[in-house]
Structure 1
Amino acid sequence: MLARWRPRTLLWQTFLLVAMLLSLSLAAWSQIFRYFEEPARARDLAQMVASVVNLTRTALLNAEPRLRTEMLIDLAALEGIRIYPAERSDPLLDLPDTRPMRLLMHETRRQLGDHTRFAMRWKTLDGFWVSFRLHPDDEDEYWVMLPRERLQKHQALEWLAWGSAAMIAALLGAFLIVSRISAPLRSLARAARMVGSGQSPPRQEESGPLEIALVSHAFNQMAGDLARADADRALILAGVSHDLRTPLARLRLGVEMSGAPDDEVTAMVADIEEMDRIIGQFLDFGRGDPQEPMHDVDVVELVVGLAEPYRLRGVPIEFALPEKLAVPARALPLRRAIANLIDNAIRYAGSTQPILIAARSNGPMVEIEVADRGPGIPESETERLRRPFTRLENARSNTKGAGLGLAIVDRVLRAHNGALELLPREGGGLRALLRLPRAQPR
């Protein structure tokens, strides 16, 4: 339960930890200040109580008997001090047993005598009650009541306000400090995801704290090395494909002019074309993500134009297309991806089973579907087949293909911020679903 509410980001985890440390520190300092401030405050309050009691005793002793009543009335009206005779049987309510009260009673008894008693309620009257005697040897006692307001900390709210302000300022400072660390890390995480998806990340700022700057510098160096490696790979594959296609063209010409039987010539030409197609897949995979800008592409026109050569070759293709459907995309890579799916469908389902090509709008996405009646792909193998040079176990006996078709399609879709889904088809077969967003993010 607690793990679900615990923050998962570094920013909020660190901020929460710093906030807890600041709160504990403020609470500890408050207790330390209170511990050392209470004795001094108790001495001041005890001095004030002793002064009031001594002044009251002196006034009672020196005042004329006929004027004592008026003096008591004036003390109650002007100072809030009341004086009553004390009896041992008076119902009393003791003061709370707290450290400040214990210190106050100790200091007051030290100044007024050990016979001094205290109460927070005398009969039905609440206040701070202190007993005193007119003479130390006199057995008669009197109660003097001081208003509670004189014992309260008038600056408690001010201390609370200043402490809260300091706490808020410290938390804001902690948030700024932690955000300086988390912001570069979030940028590095986004750039790392771009590298993982085959894209070229922007250069990271090599500023800020030394550790963050070193990490950014290492990441920029790694991204540059990967970009150079990709460029070298594309250059090598382009050279290899060019060097291989030239002898393949001569070989095909030689086979066609060899005078061999037509069925043998057809088989050898098919093998040569398959080799040429595999070389084309290597070249497509080595090019990486296209850098051309996106523009609105009519999916219906693209699919019909792409499928027409297959239909002329006798491949049965069925359409389920709207009149017009536009999506922001790069036309050449998208055309290559759909062609790879059609080639896979022909390879595994045969050229006699009809292939369904559909396109539709589904909320914020545009879906292009290529469905066949082949053996399909087990659900447990769909993710593995997205990786390059990967084929099904039962397809390894078929030497055709290099296992790059779906990897190329998946890369093209990720470059378009889309997704490739491989789903089973009702009645048997495979549904290859291309999902493209109708609006590309900035």
Structure 2
Amino acid sequence: MIPRSLLARTFLLLALLVLLTTAAWLSLFRFIDAEPRARESAQLAASAVNLIRASLFAAAPEKRLGLFAEFASREGIRLLPAEPEDRVEAMPDSRFHRLLERELSSRLGEHTRVAASVDGEPGFWISFRLDENDDDEEYWLVLPRERAARNFTMHWLSWGLLAIALALAVAWLIASRISRPLKAMARSVEAVGRGQTPAPLPEDGAEELRRLAGAFNTMASDLERHEKDRSEVLAGISHDLRTPLTRLRLEAELSVADEGARQAVVADIEQMEAVISQFMDYARTESGEDRAPVDLAALLDGIVEHQAYVGRALPAEIGALPEISLRPKAIRRALTNLIDNAWKYGGSDVRLKAAAVDGEIRIEISDRGPGIPAAETERLKRPFARLETARSNAGGTGLGLAIVERIARLHDGRLDLLANPGGGLIACLSLPIRR
């Protein structure tokens, strides 16, 4: 039930503050407003009673009935004689009505009665006597019921709702101004996590947000510079090593007379060249290749044909794949690494399968080798990480899966290492479908 985003949480807290403050303000105002309104209503009712009482005193007894009719027709005020058998319903038990009755009693006398209805007829009923000492001659003055009610609820509720609406709009503006730069920073952090270089964040807004954006921009630029320096150093070293390796190969071919020794030296040199090639692949994983629309099915067919050309029959099951935006050289490099690993460690039964599933393309390279323990899958995606059982094999550097992982993140995808039913490993490269 608790919202997860900062925008929703901040807005909810501000909205609760506004609602509670408005409710407290309305309650306090209603409490304070009750007494002056009760005094005003009592004063008007008492004035009407006193005027009518004076008019009745001044009129002759035989003309009082006509005076009653005149009050009813012109002023909407009715006068009725009070009877002992009258069924009287008291006013509601509220602070306002208690204050109203107290004010009327103080102005008209302790004998004054106030009723909400008499004999089942609603209204604002006030009793009075023509003579304070005469209990027999008592009358009911019937005023419109609205005069004994507070016109507070609808009037002030409308103003309260307007104030709440304006306050909530301002609260949403405040919350959005706080969360907007944080959302932009979260997207930039995700881009850094995928190995990309995000655009610099705008350094504006509150001082804390400006400092945070500036620190992030500095960190991102430093990471980009360090990554370029590392890649250039690694590529430079790998490139410089190839020239002496070529001379060593030539020296071995010409100078070593023993065939077995010559082949051993050449094999060692080829292994060193393969290691250097992986270093260079790792260094140029994120270098300058732009995305382009790629027919992935045709790219996979080309990889299968190349594997057949080098003597590796690769059974493939390639479904209908949409054209998506990729870095084709990087994807080819990643898939070639997975296939090479499968041939190296998984035996001869290597298969390729590709299909579009749930908004992404999944490319699976399966083998029947010893597989990888589930607890080791994430560690093996890091550079130079290898299984204990593979360390005796000098042909690997521990960079193959790290290269694939970086290429997957570069395409907003992922690499999953799964157990193959019946034994072996399934390396699944998942790429989101983005036209």
TM-score by length of 2: 0.92
Q: In the alignment, what sits opposite 2:87?
A: 91
Within 1, Cα distance between the matches of 2:159 and 2:394?
A: 79
Assess if the C-alpha contact under 8 Å between 1:191 and 1:201 holds in 2: yes
Q: Find 2:223's aligned residue among 223, 226, 240.
A: 226
Within 2, Cα distance between the matches of 1:425 and 1:143?
A: 97
Per-residue displacement from partner, 1:83-118 (whole Å, max 9, x unpaired)?
Answer: 233345532221122111111111111111122122
Per-residue displacement from partner, 1:220-251 (whole Å, max 9, x unpaired)?
Answer: 01111111111111111112212322333233
* Pair 102,323 (structure 1): closer, same or farther in 2 beyond 3 Å: closer
Q: In the alignment, what sits opposite 1:418?
A: 413
**Post-superposition shift, 1:207?**
0.8
**Post-superposition shift, 1:44?**
0.8
Q: In the alignment, what sits opposite 2:425?
A: 430
Q: Find 1:337's aligned residue among 315, 322, 334.
A: 334
Q: In the alignment, what sits opposite 1:161?
A: 158
Q: Secondary structure at the match of 2:277?
A: helix
2:131 pairs with 1:138: no
Within 1, Cα distance between the matches of 2:301 and 2:252?
A: 34
Within 1, Cα distance between the matches of 2:268 and 2:323?
A: 38
Moved more, 427-436 or 297-306: 297-306
Q: Find 1:46's aligned residue among 42, 61, 74.
A: 42
* Pair 435,11 (structure 1): closer, same or farther in 2 beyond 3 Å: same
**Post-superposition shift, 1:261?**
4.2
Per-residue displacement from partner, 1:296-339 (whole Å, max 9, x unpaired)?
Answer: 33434434444555444433432334699744321211111011
Q: Secondary structure at the match of 2:299?
A: helix
Q: In the alignment, what sits opposite 2:173?
A: 176
Q: How does 1:284-433 map to 2 (within 5 A)?
A: 284-308=281-305, 310-321=307-318, 326-350=323-347, 353-362=348-357, 364-433=359-428
* Pair 17,155 (structure 1): closer, same or farther in 2 beyond 3 Å: same
2:186 pairs with 1:186: no
Give the AA of the match of 2:25.
Answer: W
Moved more, 413-422 or 207-216: 413-422
Within 2, Cα distance between the matches of 1:90 and 1:16?
A: 56
**Post-superposition shift, 1:358?**
3.2
Q: Secondary structure at the match of 1:257?
A: helix
Assess if the C-alpha contact under 8 Å between 2:72 and 2:78 holds in 1: yes
**Post-superposition shift, 1:341?**
0.6
Q: Which runs of 5+ in 1 are unaligned?
A: none
Moved more, 430-439 or 47-56: 430-439
Assess if the C-alpha contact under 8 Å between 2:366 and 2:426 holds in 1: yes
Calculate the aligned-residue CA RMSD, in Å. Answer: 2.3
* Pair 301,30 (structure 1): closer, same or farther in 2 beyond 3 Å: closer
Within 1, Cα distance between the matches of 2:166 and 2:375?
A: 54
Within 2, Cα distance between the matches of 1:236 and 1:256?
A: 31
Assess if the C-alpha contact under 8 Å between 1:390 and 1:403 holds in 2: yes
Within 1, Cα distance between the matches of 2:168 and 2:322?
A: 53
2:279 pairs with 1:282: yes
Q: How does 1:193-212 map to 2 (within 5 A)?
A: 193-212=190-209
* Pair 144,24 (structure 1): closer, same or farther in 2 beyond 3 Å: same
Q: Secondary structure at the match of 2:80?
A: strand
Q: In the alignment, what sits opposite 2:70?
A: 74
Q: In the alignment, what sits opposite 1:27?
A: 23
Moved more, 303-312 or 32-41: 303-312
* Pair 260,407 (structure 1): closer, same or farther in 2 beyond 3 Å: same
Q: In the alignment, what sits opposite 1:126?
A: 122
Per-residue displacement from partner, 1:250-273 (whole Å, max 9, x unpaired)?
Answer: 333333334354444434433332
Give the AA of the match of 1:48.
Answer: L
Moved more, 241-250 or 219-228: 241-250
* Pair 266,370 (structure 1): closer, same or farther in 2 beyond 3 Å: farther
**Post-superposition shift, 1:135?**
1.4
Give the AA of the match of 2:192.
Answer: V
Moved more, 267-276 or 31-40: 267-276
**Post-superposition shift, 1:426?**
3.2
Q: Which runs of 5+ in 2 are unaligned?
A: none
TM-score by length of 1: 0.90
**Post-superposition shift, 1:387?**
2.2
Within 1, Cα distance between the matches of 2:23 and 2:296?
A: 66
* Pair 359,16 (structure 1): closer, same or farther in 2 beyond 3 Å: closer
Assess if the C-alpha contact under 8 Å between 1:391 and 1:403 holds in 2: yes
* Pair 379,8 (structure 1): closer, same or farther in 2 beyond 3 Å: same
* Pair 75,297 (structure 1): closer, same or farther in 2 beyond 3 Å: same
Aligned residues: 434
**Post-superposition shift, 1:191?**
0.3
Within 2, Cα distance between the matches of 1:325 and 1:129?
A: 84
